[in-house]
Structure 1
Amino acid sequence: MPTTIHLVRHAQGIHNLCPENHKYRDPDLTELGHQQCANLKSLFPDHGKVRYLIASPLRRTIYTALESFTPFDPSSPAAQKTKGSPPVIATPLLQEVSTNPCDYGSEVSKLRQEFGEKADLSRVTDDDDWLNKDKGSPWAPDYTRLRTRAMQARTWFRELSGGADTDVHIVVVTHGGFLHFLTDDFDGLSETYGTGWNNTECRSYHFADLTGKDPEAHLKETNASWRKRRGSQIPLTESEHMEMRAVVKEVLRTEFAPWNESDEVAVEA
């Protein structure tokens, strides 16, 4: 069986209630958000198969991961893998796109105090450079940098799994905007609603190239996942995807990163 990557958007946060709440930095989940986590936990069919649980370092994604996928079944691969170590691996590669205050994380010292042994924050730098989204930063909301960051996240998932064709399940909890870059699928994205993903929506993917030779480690949604959410609807064609990418690129250039197209910048998992 090939590696399965289950991608999840975080539960409802306070910032999701209204645009005015975008001013709150690294906001909490709402009461409904906590209930959404409980619902996802009850409906997710593969708890016993998950080996790695990965999240963005923002509080809403870490809480979604903890409440939806832990504690692990003691006999599961995830429990065996994380025995004696934190269950959630946090990486800045998965942080959200925009420069709204709600999409900035907390300092790593605060995260360590809040989550303690529940989250592995070793990939979140002590100097908090991942909180810098200014021009020239690898974390800037720039089309090329975002595609580079998504590619590096996918290749890291493949390395963790031991190869694209290994029977490993990985759960990744991240953000609505970044999920479009992670999947290279911008279907459903609009200017009024910044993502085509619902809160706690879970979609499952395999690596498109099972030989493991694809340098960008592209993902392809499983047939079962597509049918569950879209039925018999036909996916967008590659030319339609290209048209949507061009729109996203222009929006990022004019609204979030009004500077010249960047060179690729290396970031670490």
Structure 2
Amino acid sequence: MAPTIDIIRHGQAAHNVYGSHVRDAVLTDSGVAECDILRETFPFGSMVTNIVSSPLRRAIDTAILGVLPTVNDHIKIKLLPDLQEISPAPSSTGISKSALFSRYNDGHNVDMDDLNEYWYRKGFDTPYAPEVYKVEARARSARQYLRMLARKAIEAGKDDAHIVVVTHGEFAHWLTRDFRGVSGTRSSGWFNTEWRSYRIDSIFRSEHTDPWLTETTESVIARNGSLIPWSMSVLTKYSPRNFATMRVIEYSEMVHIEERRLSTYQTTEAPERSGDEYDESDESDESDEPDISNESDGWVDVDQELD
């Protein structure tokens, strides 16, 4: 038996309801309720050896509320920037490491060692820009990281280990290389707090090779009720990738437009505040309704399509 990778999409967040202008959107009350259900129904807590999460707050909070209470006390949530969402919209743009530290340092068991201060930047000079080859590269990097964790579990005699990944609906398709459910009108086939289980093929191949994630039979049946619909759609596993690729290209053009706008603005007027800066006034309190008085400035939030 080999370790299992359980991939979870975050719960509903403010941008799903109010729009993509909400910076690093946090969970709504409905999202918190979804995490409560996840906590009650996720069956593998006692076997979890690692939790890794996107550093976007809706993913961290999903891990804290939906998974962490089910596992051993010594396990921390490892924040992995490779797992962040692809879109450059404000709602999928995170906050600085220091701001995250202020929010999660007090008793939340969150490990931020792999974050730099500006991990959330998605300009073309960063690894997280919405360019197809960069999305593929960080998905591959994430798979290699998960393989490393699985190897360590085997070496520790925990062949039945479960490694939990909390990420986003769109990036999950690139991580698993299974694009079923993506279409011209749907950015993701993953629903809020949905989890699917995978195993890594050829787990002891060279560390430089790209691991392959294969969904377990149990996971497929739990989602579909039968292997038949799933097996009939195997041939369409990759064809929806064209839709996903086109979205990444559209996001890339968004970044071009935004960078040109900022460049023009900075040459004509000294800005009072950089778009990269963050203070507490940006943060939506889960108990308060987000400010929706401003328009989204043309940003498109892919998660809205599922809600």
TM-score w.r.t. length of structure 2: 0.74
Shift of 1:72: 4.6
Match of 1:8, SS? strand
* Counterpart for residue 38 of structure 2: 40
| CA–CA separation in structure 2 for the residues paired with 1:242 and 1:16 | 27
| CA–CA separation in structure 1 for the residues paired with 2:183 and 2:4 | 28
Shift of 1:163: 5.9
Q: Is the 8 A contact 1:2 1:164 kept in 2?
A: no
The runs of 5 or more residues in structure 2 that have no matched partner are: 255-307
Match of 1:5, SS? strand
Q: Is the 8 A contact 2:5 2:198 kept in 1?
A: yes
Tell me which amino acid in the other structure corresponds to 2:245: K
RMSD (Å), alpha carbons? 2.0
| CA–CA separation in structure 2 for the residues paired with 1:57 and 1:146 | 16
2:82 to 85, 93, 101: 93
2:187 to 180, 194, 203: 194
2:94 to 98, 105, 125: 105
| CA–CA separation in structure 1 for the residues paired with 2:237 and 2:244 | 11
* Counterpart for residue 59 of structure 1: 57
CA shift in 2, pair 1:39/1:196, >3 Å: same
The runs of 5 or more residues in structure 1 that have no matched partner are: 260-269
The equivalences for 1:83-162 within 5 A come to: 87-116=76-105, 117-118=107-108, 119-126=110-117, 128=118, 130-162=119-151
* Counterpart for residue 14 of structure 1: 14
Q: Is the 8 A contact 2:11 2:62 kept in 1?
A: yes
* Counterpart for residue 241 of structure 2: 245
| CA–CA separation in structure 2 for the residues paired with 1:256 and 1:243 | 20
* Counterpart for residue 185 of structure 1: 178
| CA–CA separation in structure 2 for the residues paired with 1:112 and 1:5 | 27
Q: Is the 8 A contact 1:108 1:121 kept in 2?
A: yes
1:257 to 252, 255, 259: 252
| CA–CA separation in structure 1 for the residues paired with 2:242 and 2:153 | 29
* Counterpart for residue 227 of structure 1: 221
| CA–CA separation in structure 1 for the residues paired with 2:153 and 2:182 | 28
CA shift in 2, pair 1:164/1:222, >3 Å: farther
State percent identity of aligned pairs.
34
Shift of 1:135: 2.2
Q: Is the 8 A contact 1:5 1:170 kept in 2?
A: yes
Shift of 1:91: 1.1
* Counterpart for residue 301 of structure 2: none
TM-score w.r.t. length of structure 1: 0.84
Shift of 1:191: 3.4
Tell me which amino acid in the other structure corresponds to 1:201: E
Shift of 1:13: 0.2
